[in-house]
Amino acid sequence: MGAQAEIKILICQGTGGISAGARKVESEFRKVLDEKGIQAVVGKRCDVINTGCRGLCANDVLVDIVDPELGRVTYDFVQPEEVAQIIDEHIVKRSPIEKRKAKPYYNTFVDSQMRIVMSGCGQIDPESLQAYLEEDGFKAIEKCVKEMKPADVIDEVKKSGLRGRGGGGFPTGMKWSFCAASQGKQKYLICNADEGDPGAFMDRSVLEGDPYCIIEGMMIAAYAIGCTKGYVYVRAEYPLAIDRLQKALDVCYQKNYLGHNIQGWGFDFDLIIKKGAGAFVCGEETALMASIEGERGMPRPRPPFPAVKGLWAKPTNINNVETFANVRHIINKGADWYGSLGTDTTKGTKIFAVTGKVKHTGLVEVPAGMTVRSVIYDVCGGIANNRKFKAVQAGGPSGGCIPSEVLDTPVDYDSLIKAGAMMGSGGLVVMDETTCMVDVARFFLTFTRDESCGKCVPCRIGLKVMLDILERITEGRGQAGDIETLLEMGSTIKKASLCGLGQTAPNPILSTIRYFRHEYEAHINDKRCPSNCCKELLLWQVVEDKCVKCGACFKACPSDAIVWEKGQIAYLDKEKCTKCKSCYDACRFMAIE
Amino acid sequence: MSNAPAEALPTEEVDLSYANKVIDKYLTLPGNLMPVLQGIQDEYGFVPKPAIDLVAERLNVYPSQIYGVLTFYAQFHLKPRGRFIIRVCVGTACHVQGAERIVETFFEKLGIGHAETSPDLRYTFEKVACLGACGMAPLAMVNDDTFGKMTVQKVGEIITEYNQRPLK
Ligand SMILES: Cc1cc2nc3c(=O)[nH]c(=O)nc-3n(C[C@H](O)[C@H](O)[C@H](O)COP(=O)(O)O)c2cc1C
Ligand code: SF4
Ligand code: SF4
Ligand code: SF4
Ligand code: FES
């Protein structure tokens, strides 16, 4: 019998998987396999492997059983109680349990993607160096140091067309060449894993699911730039990512994949983790460096650019997690291969975090240039609860809303900006007819106002004033001229702010006014919220001719404020109602307003 | 940014040996102020005033600079915190799925607001911007336990459950 496992049981243990109970499922698998002495029973080795997230956390716990003869079978929503049955029927009797298998949409979800950056996530044990080596791990850095000069590496990355995935989309090879050209013996390399953008979690998944690929990407960059010291700045809200990355770093030091004279290649590189402490603005590169230095994370004007004067006043290069994760594939498979993927101006793939009112929320990696429509409908199954699509918010607090008219926008840097949104870090929040666009704008502004570091006046005061106006509008106290004021202030703040936070903070407002001006007008002129979302403007009643008497509202109400009996139209008792909106969300027929 | 008020701090005795150990560990590391403060917070659950004085003295920085850092980052706390830290995510995905309602229900049932601690030190409540598990929105956490797909009803269930847990 070979040392290789013949049957692999892959259990999803990203943050999503673990919170759905993956650890219990894992220990149940181990226990039952042990009790049965499974190897003797089936004559095969049978390994339980904990993997990172495979992108569909909403269906966790996901378990794949990979058997050389039966192929790969995925079970979703696995509970510990079901483990014994799965082992018995699938592994012992060798007949997969048809009705427990993940439904066909799971395969659609997986097959309609192109996984390069996330190729290891959900497939390999993120804590095993061996598993990474089997996936050609550290082959790319070996190729770099043995066969390529630093300048060749930079050329290759330039040729590939890779652009930074942290939001701005700056060409990575070019950025590296600036830092490489800087004078100075000590240079620094930073991986930006702050991921402050609410609604995006791809960096976390890559760190949790394939930490070695980040390490290798950084090694390649360090070699190219001529730098020996690196930091990974991870937000502290990501304890599992920090833990897995730290383990990987420890192993790399033990096995001399980090440290002095790595693998005898004559190349040194040290890498440590710095934990963030909960400030969105620290994702901005100059603020991030101040934070590493132990200061308040406040942006400073550029120039001098980090490539010239960065961390500890030394030349510094900073890239996003996903950017680094692309690098080894470019070296292994070549710039031409990479350049053949995606569109003219955006090469390769992009990971999107698709959330909100969509059927299958999750992380999807698709070639750049796929349309937004295709991502939402083909990959993620369309809108949940049979509701109507209204808009998708792309790019987080810096981005904007894309309405249905422009759903065929391809996902690449330039097309998204033309549509009034932004790639940002790749959050796509899907909104249906129950989402109020004024409220969404108010939400993002609340966020950016809270997170503004306060250094510049337009950002500190301007955002506050805009927020006050939006709050007034959502409370039914909007005035004529409010929209014009918002537009004017928005463009001023964009021009006058020091860092990207202020420069982009008005985008959510500007884009919602651009496409949904009528919703603003309804709030201001008619004191009405067309999506029945803004509390103060809700009537709190059941529309009798829309009600189909299903009782969903009755079950959802925690305050017994809904009167309903089978076959009866529901009635809402305003006295008892606490305005929690549970009934509104539960009603699929828009019968409550 | 944290909006933790810098009001009267508790003055009870604090065993500073843990703080000293944390400082020893990072003493020679450049940029050690944050890791030191993070380490101290891990030990005590918040950053006690005597520890701030100690850090100022041993790292040779002004206390005002330390306060500057402590009040800038959302994760530092200057006051003792509850046994159970309830966090509700108010990130975009959770917002769209009705996080505000979950937050309000917690406020109502616990009688405390954002960044407040109940007088019996059982609960601290916090709104947080994205826990990175948007697929399960709306999301709440109590210490390290995650509760996905939250509803107003589940709020009641969670509180009932944690009310029964011992206060250590
Ligand atoms: C307010 C603000 C927040 C940011 N947050 C992040 C972040 O969380 N992660 C990230 O990689 N980049 C973030 N960026 C962009 C970074 O400043 C920087 O451009 C990026 O890390 C560079 O990496 P790239 O070239 O690989 O994209 C942010 C920028 C601003 C202005
Ligand atoms: S734009 Fe806002 S966040 Fe950026 S430096 Fe100015 S005040 Fe700070
Ligand atoms: S808003 Fe809440 S309390 Fe009021 S009727 Fe609906 S579910 Fe009941
Ligand atoms: S959920 Fe809607 S349709 Fe069903 S009974 Fe309630 S109001 Fe009527
Ligand atoms: S953790 Fe299982 S799919 Fe994300």
Test mutation, B77, B92, B146, B152, chain A, max A CBs within 10 A: B92
B1 pLDDT more than 60:
no
d(CA A221, CA A374): 34
Cβ–Cβ gap A274/B34 under 8 Å: yes
DSSP SS3 for A140: helix
Decide if A74 contacts A109 (C-beta within 8 A).
no
| CB-CB contact of A26 with A127 (8 Å) | no
Compare all CA atoms of chain B with the CA of A195 and give the residue at the minimum distance: B132
Nearest Cα residue to A548 out of A574, A567, A562, A571: A567
* Full-model pTM: 0.88
Q: Which amino acid is at B89?
A: C
Angle of helix A139-147 relative to helix A321-333, nearest 10 degrees, comes to 60
pLDDT digits (tens, 9 = 90+) for A282-304: 999 999 999 999 888 899 998 89
Is the model's pLDDT at B2 over the cut of 50? Answer: no
Q: Are A538 and A440 in contact (CB under 8 A)?
A: no
Place of tokens 């100059």: A286
Polymer length in residues for chain B = 168
Cα within 13 Å of Cα(B15), Cβ side? 5
pLDDT in tens, A233-271: 998 888 889 999 999 999 999 999 999 999 999 999 999
If one counts every other C-beta atom within 10 angstroms of the C-beta of residue A147, the result is 10
Cβ–Cβ under 8 Å, residues A388 and A122: no
CA B146 to chain centre: 16
ipTM of this predicted structure: 0.80
**8-state DSSP, A122:** T
CA distance A387 to A379: 18
Low-confidence ranges of chain A (pLDDT < 50): 1-3
Residues of B in contact with A581 (CB under 8 A): 98, 101
**CB pairs under 8 A, 24+ apart, for A88-97?**
A90/A65, A91/A7, A91/A38, A91/A42, A91/A46, A91/A65, A91/A67, A92/A36, A92/A38, A92/A41, A92/A42, A94/A67, A94/A69, A94/A70, A96/A65, A96/A70
B15 CA to chain A: closest CA distance, Å?
24
Which token pair is A419? 């549509």
- CB A589 less than 6 A from any atom of ligand 4: yes
Best residue in A355, A446, A501 to probe B by mutation, most B CBs within 10 Å? A355
User: How is residue A92 annotated by DSSP?
Assistant: I
Task: Provide the token pair at A153.
Answer: 């590496």
Burial class (CB within 10 angstroms; exposed 0-12, middle 13-18, buried 19+) of A575: exposed
Centroid of ligand 5 to alpha carbon of B49 (angstroms): 41
Place of tokens 């800087």: A182
The rounded distance, in Å, linking the Cα atoms of A141 and A139 is 6
Quick one: pLDDT at residue B8?
A: 47
Contact criterion met (CB below 8 Å) for A413 and A345? yes
Query: Closest ligand to A558 CA?
Result: 3
The first and second tokens of residue B23, run together, are 């400082």
Distance CA A421, CA A505 (A): 12
Ligand positioned closest to the Cα atom of A286: 1
User: Which of A101, A307, A78, A274 has its CA nearest to residue A194?
Assistant: A274
Burial of A151 (0-12, 13-18, 19+ CB in 10 A): exposed
**Over 80: is that where the pLDDT of B12 sits?**
no
Rounded CA separation A298/A315 (Å) = 19
Place of tokens 């039914």: A476
At residue A254, the pLDDT reads 96
